[in-house]
Chain A
């Protein structure tokens, strides 16, 4: 019996350690990444004082093809909201192909390239795509690890609450 208890504790410990990213209320880890489409870099500090949505996507993530357009609408529907779409593709060309070689890239989103997945690791994503809402103080307010289109209305409501609340 004691062995079973001990095994359960070990397993629970391993699982809790598996995802240890910043939880709501914690400061959002800063970063600086190159733009995916053009030159230059951008980071979280550049949007200090704004509500920021971080969306992690990849060309190999099938649901991302559906969530990215929803995110574009979200970005356009909330003036003053910064939506950073972080591609975690190793190969920049694959990410560009996914976006239809820039033609389908939405101007309301800022596309960044997290090629080494350092930011994905810092946020310790628990699914793909993942979305993090950062408030004006730079704190993580909500995070959705592995969200789908069905979560978009809830995410919109959260964004509205964060934009109106802080």
Chain B
């Protein structure tokens, strides 16, 4: 009976150790994937095009498509139409 209890205790301890090592390995992996971008290296990141809410780029493309599809001047600033080559 005692031997079985000891074996169960040892197994539980081993399991805890395994979980701890797994957590440590995950943390090491997570930290390895991190890259500190220094404030003075953020020129590209500061570009408006990097904004996930890229209203500027998205709107201009949508306006261009709209004015092309409608074959005329749209409601915004888009001009021309038809061939889709007008600016």
Contact status A127-B20, CB under 8 Å: no
Distance (Å) between the CB of A105 and the closest chain B CB?
A: 21
Most interface-central of A2, A10, A60 (chain B CB within 10 A): A60
A22 close to B (CB within 8 Å): no
Contact status B40-A56, CB under 8 Å: yes
Contact status A10-B31, CB under 8 Å: yes
**What is the interface size of chain A, counting residues whose CB is below 8 A from a CB of the partner?**
25
Chain B contact residues (Cβ within 8 angstroms of A): what range?
10 to 19
- State in angstroms the CA–CA spacing of A2 and B20 once bound together: 8
Nearest-CB residue, chain B, relative to A4: B23
Contacts of A61 in B (CB 8 A): 46
Contact status A126-B23, CB under 8 Å: no
Evaluate whether A7 and B46 lie within 8 angstroms (CB atoms) in the complex, with A2-B20, A126-B39 already known.
no
- Which of B20, B23, B40 lies in contact with A121, CB distance below 8 A? B40
Q: Which residues of B contact A (CB under 8 A)?
A: 20, 23-24, 27, 31, 36, 38-43, 46-47
- Other than the given A60-B43, A89-B43, A125-B40, 4 more pairs (CB < 8 A) read A90-B43, A121-B38, A124-B38, A128-B40
- State in angstroms the CA–CA spacing of A43 and B17 once bound together: 56
Contacts of A34 in B (CB 8 A): none
A157 close to B (CB within 8 Å): no
Contact status A88-B24, CB under 8 Å: no
A161 close to B (CB within 8 Å): no
Contact status A7-B27, CB under 8 Å: yes
- State in angstroms the CA–CA spacing of A117 and B42 once bound together: 11
A58 close to B (CB within 8 Å): yes
A154 close to B (CB within 8 Å): no
Contacts of A128 in B (CB 8 A): 39-40, 42
Evaluate whether A146 and B47 lie within 8 angstroms (CB atoms) in the complex, with A6-B24, A10-B31 already known.
no
Closest 5 CB pairs of A and B: A120-B40, A60-B46, A3-B20, A128-B39, A127-B39
